[in-house]
Structure 1
Amino acid sequence: MKMIRVMIVEDDPMVADLNRRYLEQMSGFVLLGSCRSGEEALEALQETEVDLLLVDVYMPGMSGLDLINHIRKEQYSVDVILVTAAKDQKSILEALRQGAVDYLVKPFQFDRFQGALQRYRQRCEWMNDLKQVSQEDLDRKVFSRAQPEERSALILPKGVERNTLRRVWESVSSVEQEFTAEEMAVVVGISQVSIRKYLKFLQELGLLIMEAQYGAVGRPVNQYRYNQGASLPKNWL
């Protein structure tokens, strides 16, 4: 699967920078740039191929909803996720009617942002390999209407073993403070390479939250913390 090309459309530089830093923590995405208005975004779309726009609603001049309307009229092949403080019924309904694939209300946590983009990427990967589709496939992959028994099933990725997953989950869910992969590898008693696979898997499930901590020098250090209230279904272990 190719890298998903993303553009941020946000007039607030602090919010745009936050979205950029969130995006940089995720694999499979590349940020092409940021635009501070709908007009600027339309100009960029004429010259650059973009897969996904992260769009604010409230902007001077052309609003984010007006931008989506122009995009649909011009038939640009680009998807849109709204990242906005607008939470009124009219804005939400208009965004859905215009085909927004997700809607994030400010302020939000990284795990919600991460989940939105991971679901989008998974859908793109599935659609990219699609030849024929059944109603069950559409319900499960696109419209999130899997049957309860399907939701409870877990297919472990390559390199993730069930018994080790149980040990890792018991360890991370009992730690109240943030931790690094190196620290958790010592606690669980497996290699750093292995622990990163399990932490990434739990993060993708929304059970762990990862944030990059930037020091004065050197590369950022990834800090993990348990997503309070989240739980791994017992029949997955």
Structure 2
Amino acid sequence: MTVHVLVVEDEPVAARAHRTFVERMAGFEVVDVAGTFADAVRALGAHQVDLVLLDMQLPDGHGLDLLRQLRATAHPSHVIAVTSARDADVVRQAASQGVVGYLLKPFTAAMLEAKLRQYADFRSALETTASVDQTAVDAVFDAMRPRREVALPKGLSAETLVKVRQLLGGSDQARTASEVADRIGTSRVTARRYLEYLADAGQVDRSTRHGGSGRPHVEYRSS
């Protein structure tokens, strides 16, 4: 399942950063970047869009107006607000228009990754629910709630954690700590600490790789 994303952001540097980061996430594809309200409307008509990353403050309109237009036309896109708009009324109106997430600038790459991962789980739950009962409904809405993470151990950084997640999430291939270390530029011991953190948090699977005459290796694969 590929999530088709429209980035709506009027600041060119921020727009490029959002596009670059989204395209590094396995299962996500940016179909267009819009810098204005009018460009966003055109892009929504020209592409299949599953998710809009929406800046509220646009030069020719407000993000809330775009939300209202989406809802009035029953457009199927979901929306995550990615904005510096901190006005409580804007937040309330965005919630009433059905945004599935609200991310305040400035934010870290890890925070954006968490929102996108939550959305991927949310969409997967929507598409795999064959019949509706309370358990199924709860699973869908729980997917967009923040995950409880195992506390990040001292000495580990959120930025490197993102790199490890992206490496494992980019393919179905299982990797050892040595293989991860070679790809992200750390020592094997450091890579193993990140991998063990993710395994303890239930975000990667651990298994043993046998073969050859040496000792078996522990390998890690995205859950």
Decide: shared fold, TM above 0.5. yes
SS in 2 for 1:127: helix
SS in 1 for 2:189: helix
Residue 158 (structure 1) aligns with: none
Aligned-pair CA distance for 1:52: 0.5
Task: Mark the CA change 1:202 to 1:22 in structure 2 (over 3 Å): closer, same or farther.
Answer: farther
Residue 116 (structure 1) aligns with: 115
Cα separation, 2, equivalents of 1:62 and 1:203? 42
Cα deviation, 1:76-116, whole Å, max 9, x if unaligned, reads: 11111100000111100110011100000100111211111
Letter of the structure 2 residue corresponding to residue 121 of structure 1: A
In the alignment, is the contact (CA less than 8 A) between 2:52 and 2:79 conserved in 1? yes
1:1-237 aligned within 5 A: 2-143=1-142, 173-175=153-155, 181-182=180-181, 186-187=188-189
Task: Mark the CA change 1:173 to 1:49 in structure 2 (over 3 Å): closer, same or farther.
Answer: same
Task: Mark the CA change 1:93 to 1:201 in structure 2 (over 3 Å): closer, same or farther.
Answer: farther
Cα separation, 1, equivalents of 2:144 and 2:119? 16
* CA root-mean-square deviation: 3.4
Aligned-pair CA distance for 1:174: 4.7
Letter of the structure 1 residue corresponding to residue 68 of structure 2: N
SS in 2 for 1:104: strand
**Percent identity between the aligned chains?**
27
In the alignment, is the contact (CA less than 8 A) between 1:115 and 1:204 conserved in 2? no
Aligned-pair CA distance for 1:30: 0.4
Aligned-pair CA distance for 1:133: 2.6
Cα separation, 2, equivalents of 1:187 and 1:56? 40
SS in 2 for 1:131: coil
Runs in 1 of length 4+ with deviation above 3 angstroms?
143-146, 174-180, 195-205
Cα deviation, 1:126-159, whole Å, max 9, x if unaligned, reads: 111111132233224314699xxxx99x9xxxxx
Cα separation, 2, equivalents of 1:65 and 1:125? 26
Cα deviation, 1:23-59, whole Å, max 9, x if unaligned, reads: 1231110011100111111111112111000010111
Aligned-pair CA distance for 1:200: 6.2
SS in 2 for 1:44: helix
In the alignment, is the contact (CA less than 8 A) between 1:118 and 1:204 conserved in 2? no
TM-score by length of 2: 0.69
Any gaps of 5 or more consecutive residues in structure 2? 165-179, 204-223
Cα separation, 1, equivalents of 2:19 and 2:202? 19
